[in-house]
Structure 1
Amino acid sequence: MTAPHHSERMPVVEIDRAALAANWALLAARNPGARTGAAVKADGYGLGAAETARTLHAAGCRDFFVAWAEEGRIVRAALDALTHPDDGTAPARIFVLQGLEPDSVSLHLDAGLIPVLSTPGDIAVWCNGLKAAGRRAPAAIQLETGMHRLGLDRADAEAAADLAASGELDLALVMSHLASADEPTDQSARQQARFLELAALFPGVPRSLANSAAVFLGSEFGFDLTRPGIALYGGEAGPASRGVLRPVARLTAAILQIRTANAGEAAGYGAAAPLTRDTRIATVGLGYADGYHRAASGAGVAVRDVRPGPQAVVAGQRVPVLGRVSMDLTLLDVTDVPDNALVPGDRAEFFGPNMSIDAVANAAGTIAYELLTGLGPRVERRWV
């Protein structure tokens, strides 16, 4: 089958396989007494779940977390398709975080997925589904410890513990999620104490609490399994992670045209960028339809009224985004780049090794997670 054509001028996100593996290894070394998993939900944080899972599996990861069973099926197929022999450790486990409905029990069983049960309804669906199928299979329990998102409270956890003690519920993991691990508050300590209290209802069952930021909080948060996400992909996860993670994704797009506009004119939609000098403008083939947010505009949107907009890198030099980001195009002010250093067809880096994704996200009033998971289907994923 012929591969779909992708114009060389279209946006590309280059994904550094070695950096992804190195970040996982660094995070694993922070808690050597625990297994280190990986969140590969949202299509591997926008980079491609199948290739992300294969890369992390080769690095040694054996525990993967997705949001939906359909995502888990993709990851399972990717791991089953590996041609190199396993290293003798247990097969990969794939946890599905957002509960389940009756129709998905068979999918979990067929693909070897482990549902994370967060409500009494989840538990009933799983137990009834197993009875109907005449099967036994492991599940995980999520506990509510203070985030008030998903999880069992004390009474429901006690009921689940009774089912586990009777053998009706086979548990592979008890877990919870920290709300503020990347912020200097005491909420994480309170949640950890609550987690210890509730997890004690499930003696002998492995425990998991740490997300990316909590990996850097200390071994008391590591328990038996950590579940990093954004840190794997090079995004910051609290102050302790700064400067130690390798950038994984590099978003570039081609310059389509370079022109000079006169002082006193304005650039882009809404004439949002009045020009105070004669300005060389590079028009780049990247816009909010590709996931480069309109909030990343240089001017003309609400968040840009109060702070400078993001920059990009061309010819080794940082340049500002000019005016409003549009659906397919972004303007860059390249006046200060030497004339002979830049021609149409050259590529601008919007985040990557030369332009921190967290700096771009902060300037756009968002977070690195959103920039990665929002990358559109027109952006080619290119593993390097």
Structure 2
Amino acid sequence: MNPFDTPTNADHGPLLTIDLGALVANWRALGARAGAEAAAVVKADAYGIGIEPAVTALAAAGCRTFFVAHLSEGIRARATAPDATIYVLNGLPPDSSGLFAEHDLSPVLGSHEELLEWAGFRQSGAKVRPAALHVDTAMNRLGLWAGEGLDLARERSGVIAAAGIGLVMSHFAASEDLANPANARQIAAFAEIAAAFPGVPASLKNSSAHFLPDCPSYQLTRPGYALYGGNPTPGQPNPMQPVIGLEARIIQVREIAGGTQVGYNGRWTAPGRRKLATISLGYADGYPRNASWTDITPGGSALVGGLRCPFVGTVSMDLIIVDVTHAPAGAAVRGAPVTLIGGELDLETVGAGAKTIGYEVLTSLGWRHARRYTGL
């Protein structure tokens, strides 16, 4: 048994399989494509697959730099990778500099207030790793205004020097859309920023930007979603290996007559005689409720004996009903497994069926499932 595996839930049944070998292969492929060091973004509990197993596998493969969202995630990553560089994307919370120093973490500084606080702490004699500087080139979410960043760089001293900046970075707003003119504007804006900080490593590429033409890799790239098998090139074949699979078990099978209403509030009505299977999984397991299939709105589906079968009715807390009328003989029986994520039901397909995106599906899966890690 892998040390990260969790016990099988005999009374429940869902099984989340996570291929850490595929995770590492995706990281290597992106690094090779970029021709630069690839970091790994392991925020949101490594996009739902678990910080500890993800960081363990990636560090063993040679990953030296990780990005998390929160200080607490950084502390977990540090316990797993004692020698890595770990950046905290959501910045420097007030009066938290001591915790960053204690756990050897680097804040991504995105405001003048954060810069001043970190510089003051560093000048007090505290031993800290270099911080990153986030300059906003389009998102209007986090980071210094581009003009602010350039003004500070031109000082050649002052708060930038005092803060000990070891990386300058920005974040794409639409890199998955190759035709979006905002990409070229951001590339040009960041080129000016990077040039204003000579000798300081720079980072711009997220997952999808690895596939953007004419986008420099600089010294460090920051893949996230693509590491976990998400498609960084929407509308085109996915160049990444799948990392996760999700199965649940059928707990009851029944036949219903045409005109029968199904699920909460009777939102789906059988158009004819149907065979239905109820599976032991629902939104409490992180599967989106918006995957419900009603008389008006299509929703999600499951693979039953390899055949794609639609949900019917509302996804409830612990259960989903699937129309298995056309499933292969013997596939839709009590105790049989069905696939919720895997094969043709990749993250993008599941996300579309739930009126959301694969990112949300992936990061919502939680720990109610039994987990089996492979490839470590």
TM-score, length-scaled by structure 1 = 0.90
Q: Which residue of 1 aligns with 2:347?
A: 357
Instruction: Give me the whole-angstrom Cα distance separating, in 2, the residues matched to 1:7 and 1:319.
Output: 25
Question: Would the alpha carbon gap of residues 154 and 335 (structure 1) be closer, same or farther in structure 2, given more than 3 Å must change?
Answer: closer
Distance of 1:241 and 1:62 partners within structure 2: 30
1:55-77 per-position Cα deviation (integer Å, ceiling 9, x unaligned): 11122211111011110010110
**Which letter maps to 2:220?**
L
Partner residue, 2:50: 48
Structure 2 residue 30 is matched with structure 1 residue 27:
yes
Report if the CA contact (8 A) 1:215-1:221 is conserved. no
- SS in structure 1 of the partner of residue 250 of structure 2: strand
Q: Which amino acid aligns with 2:25?
A: A
Deviations 1:41-99 (A, max 9, x none): 0000011011111111122211111011110010110123xxxxxxxxxx421110011
Counterparts of residues 52-201 of structure 1 (less than 5 Å):
52-80=54-82, 91-158=83-150, 160-161=152-153, 165=157, 167-183=161-177, 184-201=179-196
Instruction: Report deviation, 1:164.
Output: 6.1
Question: What secondary structure does 1:149 align onto?
Answer: coil
Paired residues of 1:181 and 1:238 also in contact (CA < 8 A):
no
Structure 1 residue aligned with 2:288:
293
Gaps of 5+ in 2: none
| Distance of 2:100 and 2:336 partners within structure 1 | 47
CA distance in 1, matches of 2:135, 2:156: 15
**Matches of 1:136 and 1:235 in 2, distance apart?**
34
User: What's the CA shift for 1:238?
Assistant: 2.1
CA contact (8 A) 1:99 1:115 kept: yes
Q: Secondary structure at the match of 2:184?
A: helix
Q: Which amino acid aligns with 2:99?
A: L
After TM superposition, list the pairs within 5 Å mapping 1:252-331 onto structure 2: 252-299=247-294, 305-306=296-297, 308-331=298-321
| Deviations 1:7-26 (CA, angstroms, capped at 9, x unpaired) | 23332211011111111111
Offset at residue 104 of structure 1 (A): 1.9
2-structure distance, mates of 1:316, 1:131: 62
Mapped to 1, the partners of 2:52 and 2:151 lie a distance apart of 37
For residues 328 and 235 of structure 1, the distance between their equivalents in structure 2, rounded to whole angstroms, comes to 26
**Alpha-carbon deviation of 1:202?**
1.1
Q: 1:272 to 1:13 in 2, by over 3 A?
A: same
SS in 2 for 1:103: coil
Q: Is the 8 A contact 1:208 1:222 kept in 2?
A: yes
Q: Which amino acid aligns with 1:22?
A: A
Say which SS state the counterpart of residue 200 (structure 1) adopts.
Answer: helix
Supply the distance in 1 between the matched residues of 2:229 and 2:324 (Cα, whole angstroms). 28
Write the distance in 2 (CA, Å) between the matches of 1:373 and 1:164: 41
For structure 1, which segment, 234-243 or 284-293, has the greater mean C-alpha deviation from structure 2 after superposition?
234-243
Secondary structure of the equivalent of 1:340? coil
1:301-358 Cα deviation digits (max 9, x unpaired): xxxx45x322111122211111110111000001112342332111111112342111
Shift of residue 161 of structure 1? 2.6
2:20 maps to a residue whose letter is: R
Distance in 1 of aligned mates of 2:7 and 2:41: 31
Backbone CA RMSD of aligned residues: 2.0
Q: TM-score, normalised by structure 2?
A: 0.92
Give me the whole-angstrom Cα distance separating, in 2, the residues matched to 1:104 and 1:138.
Answer: 15
SS at match of 2:96: helix
Cα 1:119/1:104, change in 2 over 3 Å: same
User: Shift of the alpha carbon at 1:169?
Assistant: 2.4
Q: Which amino acid aligns with 1:261?
A: I
| Contact map agreement 1:140 1:174 (CA 8 A) in 2 | yes
Unmatched runs of 5 consecutive residues or more in structure 1: 81-90
C-alpha distance in 2 between matches for 1:58 and 1:213:
25
Q: Measure the CA separation in 2 of the matches of 1:59 and 1:137.
A: 23
Structure 1 135/25 Cα, relative in aligned 2: closer, same or farther at 3 Å? closer
Deviation at 1:5, TM superposition (A): 5.8
CA distance in 2, matches of 1:57, 1:78: 9
Residues 180-213 of structure 1: CA deviation (Å, up to 9, x unaligned): 0001211011001111112222111011000000
Rounded Cα–Cα distance in structure 1 between residues aligned with 2:238 and 2:271: 37
Q: CA deviation at 1:39?
A: 0.7
Decide which of 196, 203, 210 is 1:208's aligned counterpart: 203
SS state of the match for residue 136, structure 2?
Answer: coil
Residue in 2 that maps onto 1:382:
372
Q: Paired residues, what number?
A: 366
The 2-side partners of 1:4 and 1:226 are apart by 32
Match of 1:87 in 2: none
Dislocated runs of 4+, deviation >4 Å = 3-6
Percent of aligned positions that are identical: 42
